[in-house]
Amino acid sequence: MRLDKYISQISDLSRKEVKRILKTGLVTVNEEVCKDPSRHISDADTVCAEGERLEPPCARYFMLHKPAGYVCVTKDKDHPTVLELLDEPNLDKLQIAGRLDIDTTGLVLITDDGKWNHAVTSPKRDCKKTYLVTTLRDIEPETINKFSAGVMLDGEFKPTLPAELEILFANEAKLTISEGKYHQVKRMFAAVGNKVEELHRNQVGEIVLDEDLELGDYRELSADEVSSVKV
Ligand code: URA
């Protein structure tokens, strides 16, 4: 990690402010003054400011039970964002690992670990996401095969990757997908002539939404939950 990012992550300082401090010569790396913000810091390096050791930043991982009405972006002028539900320092350093639509509820993962975020969201990493879906019309049994073979979404050139559909009731189902195209689930049901009325995500990879979390609540992920995502 770059030196300016390292210091910024463990303080309330922006990268710009860190660069200004570095110029004063107060920061040492392995006991030598370092003014270079791009200097690479590895686990073996010791960073000090005015002689005090700066402990390496610890990555943060949270699960949130997203209520409807909140958007999964870091800033929005019209709607509250899911980050506003977190009572944590340095909110600007956190990223949302996979977005849900404003009207979708359920599991949202939030982290400041970019590699972990990528492992959750990249379609190449095959991290499965499970949704509970309520539809306007009854779900035709052939939808299971159609989703498993892949359907063409409006405006796309390639069919969706194989998805697993389990019909729970006439108009309720559990759908597991490994991609995260824009409005993917809603567009998949539209592709078979149905319409999603309610959408709730309850699982990402092996991480299941904690039943004890009320809408709007969040908690840190356990070490097992974090390591269940292979980075
Ligand atoms: N697919 C959708 O259509 N919406 C979501 O919020 C998530 C997946």
Q: Where are the domains of the chain?
A: 3-53, 61-227
Is the CATH code 3.30.2350.10 the one for domain 61-227? Answer: yes
- What is the per-residue DSSP string for 94-147? -EESS---TT-EEEEEEES-HHHHHHHH-GGGT--EEEEEEESSPPPTHHHHHH
112, 118 contact by CB (below 8 A):
no
Q: How far is the CA of 104 from the centre of ligand 1 (A)?
A: 7
Q: Is the CB of 185 under 6 A from ligand 1?
A: yes
Q: Which of 36, 101, 154, 212 is catalytic?
A: 101
- What atom of ligand 1 comes closest to residue 187's alpha carbon? 3
106 — pLDDT class (breaks 50, 70, 90) = very high
Residues 3-53: name the CATH superfamily.
RNA-binding S4 domain (3.10.290.10)
Q: Is the CB of 184 under 6 A from ligand 1?
A: yes
Q: For 157-214, what is each residue's pLDDT tens digit?
A: 999 999 999 999 999 999 999 988 999 999 999 999 999 999 999 999 999 999 999 9
What integer pLDDT is reported at residue 93 of this predicted model? 86
What integer pLDDT is reported at residue 174 of this predicted model? 98
Q: For 41-91, what is each residue's pLDDT tens digit?
A: 998 999 999 999 998 878 899 999 999 999 999 999 999 999 999 999 888
Is residue 126 annotated as part of the catalytic site, yes or no? no
Q: How far is the CA of 203 from the centre of ligand 1 (A)?
A: 13
Rounded Cα distance between 231 and 228, Å, is 9
Q: Is the CB of 186 under 6 A from ligand 1?
A: yes
In this structure, the strands spanning 172-177 and 129-135 are: antiparallel
